[in-house]
Amino acid sequence: MTDLTLLARGREALSGVFNLDALLTPDEREWQQRARSIAEERIAPVIEEDFENRHFREELVPVIAAEGLLGMHISGYGCAGASATAYGAVCLELEAADSGWRTFVSVQGSLAMSAIAKWGSEEQKNEWLPRMAAGEVIGCFALTEPDGGSDPAAMRTVAVRDGDDWVITGSKRWIGLASVAGVAVVWAQTEDGVRGFIVPTDSHGFTATPITGKLAMRASIQCDIALDGVRVPDANRLPEAKGLRAPFSCLNEARYGIVWGAMGAARNSLEVALGRAVSREVFGSPIGGFQTTQNKLAEMLLEYEKGVLLALHLGRKKDAHELDPTQISVGKLNNVREAIKIAGMARSILGGDGVTDEFPVMRHMANLEAVRTYEGTDEIHSLVLGRALTGIAAFK
Ligand code: TGC
């Protein structure tokens, strides 16, 4: 586990130069503090062990739920209706501990719950959202398929109408939490285009198998899902979800959380590197006294500070209902990319010890490689921006 004295020294030094907390409202700071307490008191002490053992610590789910963090930005149905900025600050704090736990909150709140909240019927919302907010039911969001995640329009999973039911057949891949989920929001092609279905995971023909051999996100679960003639009633179809616009609207929510979350992993990396820089001596003086180290720290600070300000800017726009998907692509592309660079520079300041689990940065780097790929790769977000700039879609 990371030396807490080192972390505290780094945090104090960093907050002396750039203090995000001062930019948040008292309500946002309260949410941030709730997440920070969980991250530091419940996740950080066990995360290296869980990452090493590929263990998702499910007993933390009710702890996170008790603080109201699951679906916190949804209004009603047992959810707090917090601001997008407050939700972003929560994502940052959780990802400062580990991307896997921010991913859990994203999958539950921004994907599974938001799909039901945005596109479900009143009956569906009343049935699922309060229990998901309370952490009694874990949800997953089954969009990506084995033949490629970047082009959901090419999905092969089909849902065929049979009387009052739908029969769903196909496969999904990289689906977070599916093996511990009680409910899956499954996207499938129908005669009328893509539709979304609420599928209880104990349905006959539904199988979720955790993907093994991951070198990132090891304290989290991602699964293959097989749908072998899974039968659900028409009442389980999300009535308002018509076409890919529906799942993409949920991806927007999750991508927005990543804009903030990536800066959490960056902050944690910067803090430990800074703490080490002022305490470790070589050639008779602290390594933080060398120009090369100060140059790295300054570069890290610049990108961290810009990334947080970008996240805050997007958060304020989202709260004003002015945020569009292209702007989210700017944030996701930039902040994950820069967080990876910050973690890399932190590793170099930590020297050889930086590759061990004595420090969190290699774990953050590995996790961030997964984050850079899911919810739209760097390439996809570049093409979204290219389309916005030129009016020409390069992926058609
Ligand atoms: P196209 O397929 O033609 O568009 C279809 C419709 O969707 C609309 N749309 C959006 N709506 C809201 N927000 C967005 N960001 C949207 N992007 C597209 C579009 O207007 C259209 O609507 P309509 O009503 O006119 O039919 O798509 P496109 O050509 O606009 O976009 C192509 C592209 C490449 C941008 C898109 O396919 C894309 O974003 N691809 C990346 C998909 C992705 O991020 N996949 C990874 C998901 S991660 C995952 O599934 C695992 S779940 C996480 C976990 O469990 O851990």
58 is catalytic: no
| pLDDT given for residue 229 in this prediction | 98
Cβ contacts of 224-228, under 8 Å, gap ≥ 24: 224/146, 224/171, 224/172, 224/173, 224/175, 225/142, 225/171, 225/172, 225/173, 225/175, 225/178, 225/184, 225/186, 226/171, 227/157, 227/168, 227/169, 227/170, 227/171, 227/172, 227/186, 227/188, 227/199, 228/169
Residue type (1 letter), 192: D
- The verdict on residue 166 lying in a domain is yes
308 and 179 in a single domain? The answer is: no
Which atom of ligand 1 approaches the CA of 376 most closely?
44
Which atom of ligand 1 approaches the CA of 396 most closely?
29
129 CB within 6 A, ligand 1? no
| pLDDT given for residue 384 in this prediction | 97
- The verdict on residue 302 lying in a domain is yes
| pLDDT given for residue 351 in this prediction | 95
Q: Which domain holds residue 18?
A: 6-133
| pLDDT given for residue 204 in this prediction | 98
386 and 252 in a single domain? The answer is: yes
97 and 41 in a single domain? The answer is: yes
CA gap 26, 369 in Å, rounded: 33
| pLDDT given for residue 86 in this prediction | 98
| pLDDT given for residue 294 in this prediction | 96
CATH assignment at residue 319: 1.20.140.10
151 CB within 6 A, ligand 1? yes
The residue whose CB lies within 8 Å of the most ligand 1 atoms, and thus the one to mutate among 175, 180, 245, is: 245
The residue whose CB lies within 8 Å of the most ligand 1 atoms, and thus the one to mutate among 172, 244, 373, 374, is: 244
Nearest residue (by CA) to ligand 1, atom 17, is 248
Q: Name the stretches of the chain with pLDDT < 50.
A: none
- The verdict on residue 280 lying in a domain is yes
143 CB within 6 A, ligand 1? yes
209 and 249 in a single domain? The answer is: no
Nearest residue (by CA) to ligand 1, atom 40, is 150
Number of domains in the chain: 3
184 CB within 6 A, ligand 1? no
| pLDDT given for residue 5 in this prediction | 78
360 and 305 in a single domain? The answer is: yes
Nearest residue (by CA) to ligand 1, atom 50, is 144
CATH assignment at residue 28: 1.10.540.10
245 CB within 6 A, ligand 1? yes
